[in-house]
Amino acid sequence: MSELPQYKKDFLRASIRGNILKFGSFSLKSGRVSPYFFNAGDFYRADLLDSIATAYALTISSLPIQYDIIFGPAYKGIPLATAATLKLGQLDPSKYSSIEYSFDRKEAKDHGEGGNIVGAPLKGKRVLIVDDVITAGTAKREAIAKIEKEGGIVAGIVVALDRMEKLPAKDGDDSKPGPSALGELKKEYNLPIFAILTLDDIIEGIKGLVSEEDIKRTEEYREKYKATD
């Protein structure tokens, strides 16, 4: 496997240092027990927020797609989209100073400016969704529906982490091969979906940063639950 780009290394180290990427034993909603856990909601310190904003901005700036607005689904997506937009403008003002951001409300406001959307109007604009992870895909489907209802065109999705993990089998037999939630979403909407880090990146990048036992357990988890897409 080729060496990780420096911005991915920096983001991975910041995630471990800030205890955002943790290793141990974590019970997931799916019933699986994961040897690692990533919570983008823990990037609440200024230096950590800067690290994730930089990682998003560098990932977004390399994308082969066009977009006008960066959209953060409530709630975790709101600071991510805001910080990424600000960082893009700082990295290359000549190219990104006119990029806008927007986010949704969980419940529509019936007074003041009203509506479901805060920030840049979406009508007729190409919208890039930014969020932390895709677990089941429900929140992203809701975001896509809201954007399209407002007249926006979804250009793609960027997440912090692609777990590369197959969805739980409907019959409970996890030994069967299967697609990931990210892969299903990509297929359903014919959308490009990108990630700052994948599970493969994590396993490659944590060597020397965490214990050999943590690496081994994470590799075994990948082998057991890796998606077919």
Catalytic residue, candidates 9, 29, 76, 109: 109
Task: Determine if residue 164 is left, alpha or beta; phi over 0 gives left, psi from -120 to 50 gives alpha, anything else beta.
Answer: left
Catalytic residue, candidates 76, 87, 95, 111: 111
Question: Residue 23: which residues within 8 A CB-CB, separation 6 or more?
Answer: 35, 36, 210, 211, 214, 217, 218
Report the candidate in 224, 52, 213 with the shortest Cα–Cα distance to residue 132.
Answer: 52
Q: Which helix (H) or strand (E) holds 208?
A: none
- Respond yes or no: is residue 109 known to be catalytic: yes
Cα distances from 90 to residues 56, 68, 70, in angstroms, run 13, 16, 15
Catalytic residues: 109, 111
